[in-house]
Amino acid sequence: MDRVAEPTGYRMARALLKRPLLAAYEISVEGPDNLWSGPIIMAANHRSFMDSVFMALVVDRPVSFLSKAEYFDRRLTAWMFRATGQIPVRRGSPAGARKALEAAKEVLFAGGVVGVYPEGTRSRDGKLHRGHLGPARLAMATGAPIVPVGLVGTEHVQPPEAKFPRLGKKVEVSFGLPRWIDTHEDHRGSALREFTELIMGDIAQLCGQAHGERFALTPV
């Protein structure tokens, strides 16, 4: 399958940042062969703003992450997120969620890679919280597999309350085996929840975080 065209902004950012980031951090990668050449939904735990940066750094294809819409509202970050092909998601807006889902579908139908955080927000207590159904819905709608991703150490690079990243930290990025959901499942509600819990269990094994039963609280 032909690769999706890399956005110009994404290519420029990668060219500018890859070498400095590799010099600034000790990054180890496990399971890169689990990223097959077709459409992929990468689902990861979320501890830091830098999570997307490290995943994009070690994946050799452009990744469109579902990102909170506030980044697109701020002049300092809006240009970067748009130029690199990221997808805005407006929290608490069903219409915004549907729009983001449609944009993610377009990426996947073109054979691309979408990055998601099933918890919906960064974990502030160190637990891996219950996953939302969005990634499973996306997998069911497109037939793309979900590849679980475990991130370790990013919370020491830039925890949620920190304004700037810290240098010289160790970061681990682990990719699990891809999982496909049955797109012809009759009992869709229960199938989506069951599949989501399966993915969250995979992520927990990869990142080592305790898997909580509650949803993460969305910060104000």
**Which of the four pLDDT bands, split at 50, 70 and 90, describes residue 3?**
low
Which pLDDT score is estimated for 4? 67
**pLDDT attached to residue 51:** 97
What is the C-alpha to C-alpha distance for residues 75 and 71, in angstroms, rounded to an integer? 8
Q: What domain range includes position 135? A: 23-207
Q: Is the pLDDT of residue 173 over 50?
A: yes
> 114 in a domain, yes or no?
yes
Count structural domains, the chain.
1
Determine what percent of the chain is predicted with pLDDT higher than 70: 95
Indicate whether 1 pLDDT > 60. Answer: no
> Is residue 4 assigned to a domain?
no
Rounded CA-CA distance 69/97 in Å is: 10
Residues 6+ apart with CB under 8 A from 158: 48, 49, 50, 164, 165, 166
**Domain membership flag for residue 212:** no
CATH code of 184's domain:
3.40.1130.10
Classify residue 35 by its DSSP letter.
S
Q: Is residue 127 part of a domain?
A: yes
Q: How far apart are CA 26 and CA 171, in angstroms?
A: 6
Instruction: Give the model confidence (pLDDT) of 182-206 as tens digits.
Output: 877 556 778 999 999 999 999 999 9
Express each pLDDT in 30-44 by its tens digit: 999 999 889 999 999
Establish if 172 belongs to a structural domain.
yes
Please name the residues in contact with 174: beta carbons below 8 A apart, sequence gap of 6 or more: 29, 30, 31, 149, 150, 151, 152, 206, 207
What local confidence, expressed as pLDDT, does residue 84 receive? 87
Closest-CA residue to 64 (of 46, 98, 44, 88): 88
How crowded is residue 134: how many other Cβ atoms within 10 Å of its Cβ? Answer: 22
Q: What is the pLDDT of residue 46?
A: 96
Q: Is the dihedral of CA 94, 143, 48, 74 positive or negative?
A: negative
In a domain, 11, yes or no: no
- Of 120-124, 174-178, 210-214, where does mean pLDDT reach its minimum? 210-214
3-state secondary structure of 68: strand
Q: Does pLDDT of 143 surpass 70?
A: yes
Band (pLDDT 50/70/90 cuts) for residue 109 is very high
Is 143 part of a structural domain of the chain? yes
pLDDT of residue 182: 85
Structure token digits, residue 25: 């951090």
CB 147 within 8 A of CB 118: no
Q: Are 61 and 4 in contact (CB under 8 A)?
A: yes
- Report yes or no on 179 lying in a domain: yes
